[in-house]
C-alpha cells in the first residue's frame, strides 16, 4: 500500500500543495493564488488570511485527488523568506505581512549595522549584511512608524511559520528560515543574543528554532477531522524557500550551482562548513545539521517577466492577458542579443549583485527598429545576465561548477532553460520535482523526519535528471560581450537611480493597490 507526504509552499503569489509517493513521484498538486499589495513604490505586503485560505483550498484539492487520504505520513512546509508577520498575545495578525521584496526598512538596516559596529561587527554576529528585505529592519521600522501596533506584538513569524501556527498551534521556525531574519547566528545555529540586546528586541518575540527534518507538532484535531487525514499527522520543520528549493535540486554540496527562476532569481551552492562571510553573498543554515547554504538573490526574475506581461495588456484593456507561451514565442522569434537592447531588471530595487533599495529597471539601447519581440527577449536576457553576475560572485568565492541545476516556475518552459544555458555557456539540467520547487524540498525534509529516508543525502540521492540543455557555443562571444556591457550599467546609472529615488513617491490610484503581482 502506498503512502504520501504533503508539501505546502507559501509562495509570493500562490500557495502550492503537492503529494509525493514513496517512489518520489508527485501524485497530485494544486496551486491557489493571491495578490501582493504595493501601496507605495518599494513596498510589498500581503494579508496572511490569504495564505491560510489558499493553503486550505490547495490541500483539499490534493487530498481529493488521492486514492486514500488516510495514507498521509506527514507534512513539510516551505515559504517565502524574511516576511514579517506580527501577532498579538492571542495569535491574531496585527497588520498585513511585510514581504521579502519590501524595501522600506533600508534606513533601519543602516542603523542596525551601525549599532553592531559596522559591517565587520555585523558579520561576526550573524554572518550576513543587513539587507533591506530581512526581517530585523522591518521590526525596527514597525517600532518607529507603528509604535502602538509594535507594543501589542508578542510573536513574530515568517510566512511558512504562520501556516505552521494555523496547522499546529506552535510558534516554531527552522534554521534556514531563521537565517534570513538578520537576527540569527548562522554559524552557531541559534538566535544572536548580543544583537538582540543591541537592538533592544526581546527574545520572547522570536519562535523556537529546529532543524528542517525535526517534528514540530501535529495537526490540530479539528483540521485532521475536517481533511479526513490521520489524527496526530506530524508537521516537520521544513525550510525557507530559497534554501529548501536549492535542496530540492540535490544541491547540498559544492560542485554544482542551483539556479531558481521564480518571482525572484537565486544562484546558490551548498557545503559542509559555514564560509567566512564578506557580505557579498547570503549565508544560511542548510536543511540538515552540519550543512550550510550560500546564495545570491535578485529580487526580479520571473517577476520582471510577469510585470512586462501585465504592462503590455494595458495598451488594449479589451484584450485578455497574453499567455506566457505567447510571450516566449515572441522572444524566440527574434535573435540572440535582442538587436542590441539591454534590460536592467531592478524593478524592486536589488539585493544581489548590488545591494540597493534605489535600483530601478531600465531598457538601454532602444531604437525605432525594436519591436515587442525585442522587449520580451531583452527582458528574459536581462534577468539571466543578472544571474550570471551572481554566478560570477559564486565563482570568485570558490563555489562555481561546470553544471547548473535549475528549478522554479519558469523552468516549465524549455526556452528559459536553453536561454540560461546559452547566457551562462554551461550545461543546465533539471531533476525530479524541479517544477515543484520549495514544496518538493519540504517533502524531502519531511521524509527524513518521518524515517522514509535515513538522511538528506539519501533523500536527494533519489532525484533523477529529467532534462539537459547544452549551450550553443557559437553564441558565447555574443553573450560575453553582452555581459561585459551589462555588468557596468548599474554603476553608470547609480547616481541617476538615487536622484529618482529622492523624488516624491507616487501612490497608486485607489482601486489599483494590487499593482505588484509577481509570478
Q: Quote the percentage of the chain above a pLDDT of 90.
A: 81
Q: If we measure between CA atoms, which residue out of 189, 239, 237 comes closest to residue 216? A: 237
Q: If we measure between CA atoms, which residue out of 149, 174, 437, 409 comes closest to residue 286? A: 174
Quick one: average pLDDT of 118-144? Answer: 97
Task: Count each helix (H run) and each strand (E run) in the chain, helices first.
Answer: 17, 24
**How crowded is residue 339: how many other Cβ atoms within 10 Å of its Cβ?**
16
Q: What is the pLDDT confidence band of residue 433, given thresholds at 50, 70 and 90? A: confident
246 in Cβ contact with 266 (< 8 Å): yes
Burial class (CB in 10 A: 0-12, 13-18, 19+), 280: middle
Domain boundaries in the chain? 4-251
**pLDDT of the residue at 123:** 98
- For CA atoms 45, 48, 50, 55, the dihedral sign is positive
**pLDDT of the residue at 403:** 83
Considering 33-42, 336-345, 389-398, the range whose residues carry the highest mean pLDDT is 336-345
Catalytic choice (161, 174, 241, 422): 241
Q: pTM for the full model?
A: 0.89
Q: For residues 182 and 41, what is the distance between their CA atoms, to the nearest angstrom?
A: 23
Evaluate if residue 225 carries a pLDDT over 80.
yes
**pLDDT of the residue at 255:** 85
CATH class of 4-251: alpha beta
**pLDDT of the residue at 514:** 42
Q: What is the pLDDT confidence band of residue 511, given thresholds at 50, 70 and 90? A: very low
390 in Cβ contact with 296 (< 8 Å): yes
Catalytic, 316? Answer no
Evaluate if residue 325 carries a pLDDT over 60.
yes
Evaluate if residue 519 carries a pLDDT over 60.
no
Evaluate if residue 41 carries a pLDDT over 90.
no
Q: What is the pLDDT confidence band of residue 263, given thresholds at 50, 70 and 90? A: confident
Evaluate if residue 393 carries a pLDDT over 80.
yes
**How crowded is residue 203: how many other Cβ atoms within 10 Å of its Cβ?**
10
338 in Cβ contact with 381 (< 8 Å): yes
Q: What is the DSSP letter of 207?
A: P
Q: For residues 156 and 216, what is the distance between their CA atoms, to the nearest angstrom?
A: 17
Burial class (CB in 10 A: 0-12, 13-18, 19+), 127: buried
Evaluate if residue 127 carries a pLDDT over 50.
yes
Q: What is the pLDDT confidence band of residue 265, given thresholds at 50, 70 and 90? A: very high
**pLDDT of the residue at 319:** 66
Quick one: average pLDDT of 420-426? Answer: 96
When the pLDDT of each residue in the chain is averaged and rounded to a whole number, the result is 93
Q: For residues 381 and 478, what is the distance between their CA atoms, to the nearest angstrom?
A: 12
Q: For residues 14 and 190, what is the distance between their CA atoms, to the nearest angstrom?
A: 30
Q: Report the binding-site residues for substrate.
A: 81-82
- Could you give the maximum distance between any two Cα atoms of the chain, in Å? 65
Considering 126-140, 301-315, 496-510, the range whose residues carry the highest mean pLDDT is 126-140
Amino acid at each position: 500500500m502506498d503512502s504520501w507526504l504533503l508539501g505546502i509552499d507559501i509562495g509570493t503569489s500562490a500557495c502550492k500543495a503537492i503529494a509525493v509517493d514513496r517512489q518520489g513521484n508527485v501524485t497530485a498538486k494544486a496551486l491557489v493564488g493571491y495578490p501582493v499589495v504595493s501601496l507605495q513604490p518599494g513596498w510589498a505586503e500581503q494579508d496572511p488570511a490569504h495564505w491560510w485560505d489558499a493553503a486550505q483550498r490547495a490541500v483539499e484539492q490534493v487530498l481529493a485527488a488521492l486514492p486514500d487520504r488516510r495514507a498521509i505520513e506527514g507534512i513539510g512546509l516551505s515559504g517565502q523568506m524574511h516576511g514579517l508577520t506580527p501577532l498579538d498575545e492571542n495569535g491574531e495578525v496585527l497588520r498585513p505581512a511585510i514581504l521579502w521584496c519590501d524595501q522600506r526598512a533600508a534606513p533601519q538596516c543602516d542603523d542596525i549595522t551601525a549599532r553592531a559596529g559596522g559591517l565587520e561587527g555585523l558579520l561576526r554576529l550573524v554572518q550576513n549584511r543587513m539587507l533591506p528585505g530581512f526581517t530585523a529592519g522591518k521590526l525596527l521600522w514597525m517600532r518607529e512608524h507603528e509604535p502602538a501596533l509594535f507594543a501589542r506584538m508578542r510573536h513574530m513569524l515568517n510566512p511558512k511559520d504562520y501556516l505552521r501556527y494555523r496547522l499546529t498551534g506552535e510558534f516554531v521556525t527552522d534554521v534556514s528560515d531563521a537565517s534570513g531574519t538578520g537576527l540569527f547566528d548562522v554559524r552557531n545555529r541559534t538566535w544572536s543574543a548580543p544583537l538582540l540586546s543591541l537592538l533592544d528586541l526581546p527574545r520572547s518575540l522570536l519562535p523556537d528554532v529546529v532543524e528542517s527534518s525535526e517534528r514540530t507538532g501535529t495537526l490540530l484535531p479539528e483540521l485532521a477531522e475536517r481533511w479526513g487525514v490521520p489524527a496526530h499527522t506530524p508537521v516537520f520543520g521544513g525550510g525557507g524557500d530559497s534554501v529548501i528549493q536549492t535542496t530540492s535540486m540535490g544541491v547540498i554540496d559544492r560542485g554544482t550551482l542551483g539556479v531558481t527562476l521564480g518571482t525572484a532569481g537565486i544562484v546558490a551552492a551548498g557545503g559542509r562548513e559555514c564560509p567566512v562571510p564578506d557580505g557579498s553573498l547570503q549565508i544560511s543554515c542548510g536543511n540538515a545539521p552540519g550543512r550550510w547554504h550560500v546564495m545570491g538573490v535578485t529580487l526580479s526574475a520571473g517577476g520582471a517577466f510577469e510585470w512586462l506581461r501585465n504592462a503590455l495588456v494595458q495598451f488594449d484593456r479589451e484584450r485578455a492577458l497574453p499567455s506566457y507561451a505567447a510571450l516566449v514565442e515572441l522572444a524566440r522569434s527574434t535573435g540572440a542579443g535582442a538587436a542590441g537592447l539591454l534590460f536592467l531588471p531592478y524593478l524592486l530595487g536589488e539585493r544581489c549583485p548590488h545591494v540597493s533599495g534605489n535600483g530601478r529597471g531600465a531598457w538601454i539601447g532602444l531604437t525605432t527598429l525594436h519591436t515587442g519581440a525585442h522587449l520580451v527577449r531583452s527582458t528574459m536576457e536581462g534577468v539571466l545576465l543578472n544571474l550570471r553576475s551572481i554566478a560570477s560572485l559564486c565563482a570568485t568565492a570558490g563555489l562555481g561548477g561546470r553544471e547548473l541545476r535549475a528549478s522554479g516556475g519558469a523552468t516549465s518552459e524549455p526556452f528559459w532553460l536553453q536561454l540560461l544555458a546559452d547566457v551562462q555557456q554551461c550545461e543546465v539540467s533539471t531533476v525530479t520535482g524541479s517544477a515543484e520547487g520549495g514544496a518538493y524540498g519540504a517533502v524531502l525534509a519531511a521524509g527524513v523526519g518521518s524515517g522514509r529516508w535515513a538522511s538528506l543525502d539519501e533523500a536527494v540521492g533519489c532525484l533523477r535528471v529529467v532534462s539537459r540543455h547544452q549551450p550553443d557555443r557559437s553564441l558565447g562571444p555574443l553573450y560575453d560581450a553582452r555581459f561585459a556591457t551589462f555588468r557596468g550599467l548599474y554603476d553608470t546609472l547609480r547616481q541617476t537611480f538615487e536622484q529618482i529615488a529622492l523624488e516624491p513617491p507616487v501612490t497608486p490610484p485607489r482601486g489599483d493597490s494590487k499593482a505588484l503581482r509577481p509570478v
